[in-house]
Amino acid sequence: MTSDPAMNDILPSERLTYLDAKTGVEVIQWTLAACKNHHLYFTSHSVTADNRWLVFLSERDGHPNIYAIDRGDGGIRRLSKNRDGLLRSYVYPGGGIRGLSKASPSLDPIRNRLFFIRDDQVFRVDLDDPDPEEKRLCRLPSGWWGAYTHISPDGKTFCVPCTDPRAFGNEATQWEQLNHVPTRMRERGLQTRLYFIDAETGTTRTAAEMPFWVTHVQFDPGGTGRLLFNLEGHLKGIPLPDRIWCLEPGGSCRPLAREEGGEWRSHENWAPDGKSIVYHGQRMGRAFVAARTWEGTLLHEIPLDGVECHHATSLPDGGGMVVDRVDGMISLLEPRIPNSEWHLEDLCRHDTSYDDQDAHAHPLARPDGGGVVFTSNRSGHCQVYEIALPSNSRDAKGGKTWLEM
């Protein structure tokens, strides 16, 4: 795509619908452009709480930029004005020293504001502004590599993880990053800094410096100021232990809970009610989903025998999860406590290839719990999709769901 619409031009709706061939569920396809289009990373919302906007990334003008779909009429507005391609970052090692960071957008769904990084600068844009304009907040350390960011639930603090550029070499893929960056950081004594940026003034402070690679951050949705983050990467092809970490408001850091031998955890995220931290993983080859308190106490761990999934994120009420399965299906997963059982309800096919980060389905429930947004390249290009959540999705057949513990 080489067309270059002005930032405030409204592009026509691309919305269409179809019925999923497997489940009969109506699927909305929001984008049609013959290029990469995908919703924001699963640690950020992509839909505002008032259900007015759906935010996504697209390369339709020849460069990565951020757009917002008016969910009423389907009109599309561009929110960023990048002309310098892709900025290098976690998951995107092929980027350059200038451009938009695809890992950086984070949506404040309550105030309808978006935060992102272009070049080495942090910007904010207000979606409800009739003529949205980028507002520069601050400059980050030149050359440091960014990763997935997050805005606090009160909209006041934007967290950006930045890693010393000496940790990076000529990696061409995410998998090469995972294997090489942690080794360099350990051998050279390098750090990741967690920056807290004031969303109004741009005032910046270092909240923590960690002697390992941090690539995901997420504030407690309950508003406590607690921050969830990760220890990323492999050594000699084996995931590093104790992936999930906690930053207390006072500045102290600790692992959420020590991992056992033969165990790895992944895709940690806060339950939207803030009452637990959920993740999935494997132990001795057996998959599971689990939840712990902030203090690290295990609430439950449910084996997933026969169900392989790429990602698992909580529903807004904390009562279940939506998963993108390896077999191409998006499903609701409702653990039943205390029986260590689960109920699975198929929603629709995603059938994406997972060729690269942009093609990951990353299903994520809307803030109002009425639907799930996901990405798929099933049509040949990554596009943004949505399905409604069934009203009977929590019709338990005995036992308790996570919410009812």
- Give residue-wise pLDDT tens across range 93-152: 999 999 999 999 999 999 999 999 999 999 999 999 999 999 999 999 999 999 999 999
**Token pair for residue 112?**
């309808």
Q: Give the span between the Cα atoms of 72 and 92, in whole angstroms.
A: 33
User: In this structure, are residues 281 and 264 in contact, taking their beta carbons and an 8 Å threshold?
Assistant: yes
Closest to 316 in 3D by CA, of 221, 175, 226, 199? 221
d(CA 262, CA 287): 12
How far apart (Å, rounded) are the C-alpha atoms in residues 400 and 405?
6
> 119, 113 in Cβ contact below 8 A?
no
From edge to edge, which strands make up the β-sheet containing 341-349? 309-314, 321-325, 329-336, 341-349
Sign of CA dihedral 301, 306, 311, 313: negative
pLDDT > 70 fraction of the chain, expressed in percent and rounded: 94
pLDDT for 393 equals 47
Q: pLDDT of 310-351, one tens digit each?
A: 998 989 887 788 999 999 999 998 877 666 677 899 999 999
Between CA 20 and CA 26 the distance in angstroms is 6
Q: How confident is the model at residue 306 (pLDDT cuts 50, 70, 90)?
A: confident
| pTM of full prediction above 0.85 | yes
* φ/ψ of residue 335, rounded to 5: -65, 145
Task: Say how far apart CA 40 and CA 63 lie, in whole Å.
Answer: 16
Read off the pLDDT band of 304 (50, 70, 90): confident
Q: Looking at the predicted structure, is the pLDDT value of residue 405 above 70?
A: no
pLDDT over 60 (residue 4): no
